[in-house]
Amino acid sequence: SQDSGSAVGVSPADFAAAGEILPKEAKTFLVNVDDFERKQDKETEMSLNRLALLFTGAILKHSFPLKFNGLNGDIGAPKIKTAQIATGSGSIKMIRRDRKAGGSIVSVGDDTDIDEDEDVAGDVEPSQEKAVRMWINNIGVQNRYIHRLLNACSNGVLLLRLLDHIAKSSVVDWKKGYPKPSNKFRELANCQQFIEICKKNPFNFKVGTTTGQDINERHSKHVLSVTWQLRKFHMFEFLKRIYVRKFGGGQNTADSKIRIDEGKIAQWCMSTIETALDENGGYPPEASHVDLEGIGSKIKGFDDKTLKTGLYLLLLIWAKDPESINWENASNGVTRDQRLSNATYAISVARKMGCTIFLQPTDIIRVRPRMILSFVSAVLAV
């Protein structure tokens, strides 16, 4: 096998033999991938969409994306000659065509590591909009997948349901709201109620000059301002609930807010890993190619720079569920690409375990303590 995180060229036959995970139709279709260049553009587009659907069911059970690169094709007749597989990433969430540099790229994979303007995974700092969008998709409000944040928020329904979901109670007056707004006036009413609720307890957001009309008219600055505060509020409420459940009321300050002791969370992580090592007779033998020795006891806080490799997080996930990690997808995180691959894989597996995810892979490799704290807390709480 090759280093995790590296993209390796493989033939259609290699795909078909990859663990017998693909449906029979997908295998047949892959063998004929070179025929794409001989088809008309419309037929090619239909074929690619069919390919995405065929792969979705199989890839959701595994942890890697698929990319097909048309390196020398033109816009009118995309040529797809090279198939690549990059291990260590998440499940299928989208398919898109991106025509750049005189060619076309079709990506089938998890958009946790593919930004709207990227043609390689995760090498650009995630935008606020992407972070908010992925957070909403993760918590599953309305059982819908959001591709465009501003459009999804414009009628106010999603935002009102987010408030109810995060507050764990009905803070929205649905007698004055419209679950299915049929005109612009009702959309405005929803958006304005959202702004009014954000000003009050328990949220108390700083909304400034933002109005319901700004939300309805898709003004990016205003939408991101309130949704970013909502995401931050949810993360801290989530952390507090986990902390209180494990350690009780915590340390109270003068304003009666709970102060989370990160040292206790770090100790919780270490004891969880040590218990798993005892129960399983040591480190997993299939992880012999990565340096896990003593990693569980080395981390004393979530600002430790060794966290950037992602191995500690993978080990913690393994400690909670030894069957969840395929160690062939992990590496020592020597290069940035390997660290990014480990981080993306950790997030993918945690999401499949049912964890609430607030961070992006780059939050891990840049060692952002609060975001990593939210991740390990979510894993420990499963």
| pLDDT bucket at 294, cuts 50 / 70 / 90 | confident
What residue has token string 């797809």? 80
Beta carbons of 308 and 365 less than 8 angstroms apart: yes
Edge-first strand order for the sheet with 94-98 is 7-10, 82-86, 66-70, 104-109, 94-98
Q: How many whole angstroms from its chain centre is CA 169?
A: 26
Q: How confident is the model at residue 35 (pLDDT cuts 50, 70, 90)?
A: very low
User: Rounded to two decimals, what is the model's pTM?
Assistant: 0.67
In this prediction, residue 319 carries a pLDDT of 96
pLDDT > 90? residue 267: yes
pLDDT band at 87 (very low <50, low <70, confident <90, very high): very low
- Least confident range from 46-50, 170-174, 307-311: namely 46-50
CA 84 to chain centre: 21
Q: Tell me how far apart the alpha carbons of residues 331 and 179 are, in angstroms, rounded to a whole number.
A: 47
* 39 DSSP assignment: S
Angle, CA 144 vertex, CA 67 and CA 378 arms, to 5°: 80
